[in-house]
Amino acid sequence: MRMPNVSVEPMSRKSIREFVNKFRQLLGLEDVRYFPIVQFIEWYLPQLGMNYEILTIAEMNDVYGLTNMKKNVLYIREDVYCRAVKGNPRDRFTLCHELGHFLLHAPERVSFARGKIPAYRDPEWQANVFAGELMAPYYLTCCMSVDEMMEECGMSRQAAKIQYGVYHGK
């Protein structure tokens, strides 16, 4: 979900990649191509002090996921959660994106912004980069094709194309 008029501390793709790599290493998942995001949310998120709630479509309307840092709760729309459990790439990306907000955007790192902000200070850009790097870490996928990334990392074609383009300067 878009965070209006908000800016966060600057982070480059490289710094987010390094963060994600350390995060995967801490979890013992540095060699795992298919990141188990649903299991992570169910088993590990509460250990990090973050709860999650599955809400109905009526409660969330057109919002797929929302991270509330003040309450330490990740809200997930029920259909998104059910599809992520089944391995749907788009919904897995949504959960990874929301996890990125939780890990990268503590309240003290967020401030109000006026006007256009650069991508590296945009919380949505940072959460998207986090999700892409979590699902397809460079060191595991830099030599893969888009189709291989889709298959082995559980990514949508769009997300795999973005990661592939980043790795190959496109």
Q: Which domains does the chain have, with CATH numbers?
A: 6-136 (1.10.10)
With contact defined as beta carbons under 8 Å apart, do 136 and 156 qualify? no
- At which residue do the structure tokens 């209006």 appear? 4
**Residue with the larger pLDDT of the pair 2 and 119:** 119
Q: How confident is the model at residue 1 (pLDDT cuts 50, 70, 90)?
A: very low
Average pLDDT score over residue span 114-130: 87
| C-alpha closest to that of 72 among 102, 97, 105 | 102
Give pLDDT, residue 64.
Answer: 97
- What's the one-letter identity of residue 19? F
Give Rg (Cα) of the chain.
15
- Minimal CA–CA distance to 124: which of 65, 76, 80, 71? 65
Reported as half-sphere exposure (CB side, CA atoms, 13 A), residue 48 has a value of 20
DSSP state string for 116-153: ---GGG-HHHHHHHHHHHHHS-HHHHTT--HHHHHHHH
Average of per-residue pLDDT across 61-67: 96
Q: What is the pLDDT of residue 107?
A: 64
| pLDDT at position 157 over 60 | yes
Across the chain, mean pLDDT equals 91
pTM score over 0.85: yes
For residue range 124-156, what is the model confidence (pLDDT) as tens digits?
A: 999 999 999 999 999 999 999 999 999 999 999
Phi then psi for residue 75, to 5 deg, are -95, 130
Alpha-carbon distance values, 142 to 54, 59, 91, 146, 170 (Å): 34, 40, 23, 10, 13
- In the block, which residue shows the tokens 């990874």? 96
CA distance 103 to 101: 6
| Residue 108 pLDDT grade (very low, low, confident, very high; cuts 50, 70, 90) | low
Average pLDDT on 161-170 reads 81
**What pLDDT score does 139 carry?**
94
Higher pLDDT: 114 or 148? It is 148
94 vs 111, which has greater pLDDT? 94
